[in-house]
Structure 1
Amino acid sequence: MTSSAFPARTSGRRLHFLFNRAWQALWVLPLPAWLLLFFAVPLGLLVAISFWSVVNYRLTPDATLSAWRYVLGLDFLWASFWRSYRLSMASAVAISLLAFPASYAMAFVAAPRQRLILLGLAIAPFFTSYLVRIYSWQVFLTEGGVISSVVQAFGGKGESLLNTYFALFLGHATLALPVVLILQTIALANVDRTGISAAANLGARPGAILFRIILPAARPGLTLGLLFAFLLSYAEFVSASYLGGGTFQTLPILVTDLVRAGQQWPRAAVVSLLMIASLLITAFVTVLWAYREKG
């Protein structure tokens, strides 16, 4: 009886172990399936298209480097690349600095219930179409608009602010500011209050507490907020088109121009792959810095 019961008990444990593994795999499966369907497959198709050619305005499956040679030989490609990178990084830094006072107040001044209400208000803009929000800025920035009328009332010229770096920054901030605000608030709210209280009891000044305790402790979240602001600004097309007027040829504008110029999808694919590569490298370096060991 004992010898026959032992294999049955072992078999039951094995079936239970396999069932648990299958159940865990079932919960994990959606993430790799999502990444495969919406990232790996489109990326592979983009890589393949970059080696195709266009014949009589038709995309033709091919194996040629003509699109790569053409795009990499364009002088204004690299000018557009560095312009996009600098503008996006400047917008990310400005947006992060602009969001920090509000994030600090929500994390350290507001009560937990008030913080939830304020975070809900920060999410509220996402219930409106981003395109509508960008169009609404034209009412403020155009000649004869709200800002122009106020400037004229005080004796200024009241010129249009459209097609300027300021308008482009407003578009980036409209998209990225709520995200940065939320990430910064979460990072600051999770800072351990023990070290802050100890420093204050020892007579540390508020500035020293901020720069030596709060910011280092919240560095990962603050850095990720900066990274998200950069990612959203770098690939942004709507602001560059409707507020910048296409005056500043960023990489998204360049992709559109290449597609319109004789349906040159392979050339647009090359530019898109360069954008993806630069984004991945920037994200990798930023995350490494955010989570590096102190000292």
Structure 2
Amino acid sequence: MPAKPRRLFSLYAITWRLPIIIWQFIFFVGPVLFMVAMSFFLVRNYRMTEAFEFVNWSKMLSRGYFWDSYWYTIFIAAAATVCAMCIAFPAAFALAFRASDATRRWAIFLLIIPFFTSYLVRTFSWFVILSESGVVNGMLGYVGLGPYTMLNTNFGTLVGYMTLTLPLVVILQTVTMANIDKNLIEAARNLGCKPLATIWQVILPLSKTGLIIAAIFCFILSFGDFVAPFYLGGSQEPTLPILILDTTKSGQQWPRAAVVAIMMMGTLFAIAFTGIALAYRKRKGAK
């Protein structure tokens, strides 16, 4: 008997998918469309009026301070991503290949605990640690070093980003490497592959997808974070989230702030889709 043609739309599948579709339209697509529309509004006498003008786009995209903030935000988020990935990898490697299953479960649980507290509270705790009379400078003073200025600097911003992203990156890397078939690693060692070569030629390729996803999450969270650059970085070089705040305070310019937000979302979408494409791209010759 000839096989029945597959229906393009399954009522059963659509029924189960409908709630998440409705949720996305109400709480994501709808606000995004409104923000795009608002970017064409005009502000007159501190009140927004409906219009379809490109004034906000031309003024924001022609300002040097916008592009300074744009490239600085990308740079500091990329630096945070590189630092988080490099710091997390040894810890994740040890948990995945050196620790027992029970130790790994407890370690992941302990890494989740910081998310039980407010990120703002965790950020403010760094004031006690990084201030010129804080814990770090106090310890350095015993060996005749310091005091060093760590707050209101790029270093302070990076510390805040690490506070936000590092536990998540360690968890993602650990879960990814823990799922690697250990027989492949043993086979590489039996064939004479040295430890560093095993990491480079076996472990990294097999965990590529998870590592890239972890990097994407880290970059997205850092790129859109307002707390760390504002409180620990001191807004010395404003990032795009800080620029949005400053723009809304300047004459209630919500349409211009919407332009900045749309540029942020467009950048994040481009980076996220590029990273996902690289993560799931098959190597040449692989089936």
| Band of TM-score, shorter chain | over 0.9
* Sequence identity (%): 41
Q: Which amino acid aligns with 1:69?
A: S
Q: Give, in whole Å, the separation in 2 of the partners of 1:156 and 1:117.
A: 37
Matching of residues 34-113 of structure 1 within 5 Å: 34-113=23-102
How far did 1:167 drift? 0.7
Residue-pair matches, total: 278
| Counterpart secondary structure, 1:54 | strand
| Residue 225 (structure 1) aligned with residue 214 (structure 2) | yes
Report the Cα distance in structure 1 between the residues aligned to 2:186 and 2:197, rounded to whole angstroms.
Answer: 13
* Residue from 271, 274, 282 that aligns with 1:282: 271
Q: Which moved more, 1:203-212 or 1:260-269?
A: 203-212
Aligned equivalent of 2:281: 292
The Cα of 1:266 is off from its aligned counterpart by: 0.4
Name the SS of the counterpart of 2:192 in structure 1: coil
Residues of 1 paired with 2:11 and 2:126: CA distance? 52
Contact persistence 1:144–1:160 (CA under 8 A): no
Judged with a 3 Å threshold, the aligned counterparts in structure 2 of structure 1 residues 284 and 263 are, in CA distance, closer, same or farther, namely same
| d(CA) in 2 for partners of 1:154, 1:24 | 66
The answer to whether structure 1 residue 190 and structure 2 residue 179 are counterparts is: yes
Q: RMSD of the alignment, in Å?
A: 1.7
Q: Give the letter for the 1:225 counterpart.
A: A
- When normalised by structure 2's length, the TM-score is 0.93
Structure 2 Cα separation of the partners of residues 160 and 118 of structure 1: 33
**TM-score, normalised with respect to structure 1:** 0.90
- Runs of 5+ consecutive residues of structure 2 not aligned to the other structure: 1-6
- How far, CA to CA, are the matches of 1:208 and 1:35 in structure 2? 45
Task: Name whichever of 125-134 and 63-72 sits farther off.
Answer: 63-72
Q: Which residue is equivalent to 2:234?
A: 245
Task: Please say which of residues 27-36 and 188-197 is displaced more in the overlay.
Answer: 27-36
Kindly indicate whether residue 140 of structure 2 is the aligned counterpart of residue 151 of structure 1: yes
More helix by share: 1
The change in CA–CA distance for 1:157 and 1:189 in structure 2 (over 3 A counts) is closer
Is the partner of 1:29 in helix, strand or coil? Answer: helix
1:270 and 2:259 equivalent? yes
Runs of 4+ in 1 over 6 A off after TM superposition: none
Task: From the CA coordinates, give the structure whose radius of gyration is larger.
Answer: 1
